Amino acid sequence: MTTDTLAQFSYFQWKDIYQKEKPYYLYIDPPENVPVANFSTAAGPNEVVHNLRGIEDRFNLDDNGFAVKHQDFCLKTIDEEAINNSYLPSLETLLRELLGLDAEIFWFDWRTRSSDRSKTTFPPGTKINLDDRTINLAPVTAVHVDQTKIAAINRVHRHLGDRAEELLKGRVRIINIWRPYDASVESYPIAVLDGSTVPPEKLVDVDVVRQSYIGESYYPLQHDGYKWYFINKQTKEDVLLFKMYDSSETAKAKCCPHASFNQRTAEEPKPRKSIEARALVFTAT
């Protein structure tokens, strides 16, 4: 089965000023005469995005930074109680099957997104409280990695407190789990970049300033050697796992850049409705 497609992704645009001034993006009201961001992204060339359907078993988190699994979707409503009591436990079962029964899992975020412009914040801007999970965010078309190495370590300290130093002695991963929660995806599917094709020097550190703290993300520069993948017409039983950070020195893929792209599979495609959960995962190896 081949339904590969072409897409353009938005990449970080490098300027010499970043040798002295760190790139940033503000999710707060900026001070007077301060821009919301001091960097920009722009569409790169057309790139092939390979369909994963039918070849899912060729890819894994260690070597590629992403994996595809299949799991029945257990949610009938999207709310805090259902997520915490039903959905996240179902994902923990999936993660432990994949990474080992001894895996310790800490969920630090989940959120929904939609490509329906009438029901979402499109594009992200200031005054958005990213800690408020009732906000339905738009798909992100700029290629990015949610957490840098520094941000990942800071998250361990932020969320695990007194246990952080001990947990950091083992293997630490941040894994996102993404799927639609309604109809199969017809618009703005998510694409993942094979982490083994990403040179470290192509990753630019960007401060992400939120109301509650300052995080840090990677924004990749364009590179001809990238290999992109997606699940054509992804259903809510198709679970995409992709990695933001991995402390393992032997893993080929340290992270998985990703972005959505404007693909239409119907004349009037249904808006994408997706849910994503983010976990710190601790294992011995």
* Structure confidence at residue 31 (pLDDT): 86
Q: So what's the pLDDT on residue 264?
A: 67
What's the pLDDT tens digit per position in 38-53? 999 999 999 999 999 9
**Mean pLDDT on 185-189:** 95
Q: How confident is the model at residue 30 (pLDDT cuts 50, 70, 90)?
A: confident
On the question of pLDDT at 91 being above 50, the answer is: yes
Quote the CA–CA distance of 86 and 80 in Å, as a whole number: 10
- What pLDDT score does 102 carry? 96
Query: Rounded mean pLDDT of 180-196?
Result: 96
Domain 5-283: CATH class, spelled out: mainly beta
Give a three-class secondary structure readout of the chain: CCCCEEECCEEECCCHHHHCCCCEEECCCCCCCCCCECCCEEECCCEEEEECCCCHHHCCHHHHCEEEEECCCCCCCCCHHHHHHHHHHHHHHHHHHHHCCCCEEEEEEEEEEECCHHHCECCCCCCCCCCCCCCCECCCCECEECCCHHHHHHHHHHHHHHHHHHHCCCEEEEEEEEEECCCCCCECCEEEECHHHCCHHHEEEEEEECCCCEEEEEEECCCCCCCEEECCCCCCCEEEEEEEEECCCCCCCCCCCEEECCCECCCCCCCCEEEEEEEEEEECC
Residue 16, pLDDT score? 97
93-116: pLDDT as tens digits: 999 999 999 999 999 999 999 998
Give 73-79 contacts, CB < 8 A, sequence gap 24+. 73/179, 73/181, 73/236, 73/237, 75/181, 75/275, 78/112, 78/181, 78/275
**Among 178, 172, 145, which residue's Cα sits nearest to residue 159?**
172
pLDDT at 32 over 80: yes
Q: What is the pLDDT of residue 122?
A: 47
Give the start-to-end residue ranges of the domains of the chain: 5-283
Please check the confidence at residue 134 and state whether its pLDDT lies above 80. no
- Residue 265, pLDDT > 90, answer no
- Residue 127, pLDDT score: 56
Question: How many Cα atoms are found within 13 Å in the side-chain-facing hemisphere of 281?
Answer: 31
Q: What is the pTM of this model?
A: 0.95
Residue type at 74 in one-letter notation? C
Between these two residues, 133 and 37, which has the higher pLDDT value?
37
Q: What percent of the chain has pLDDT over 70?
A: 94
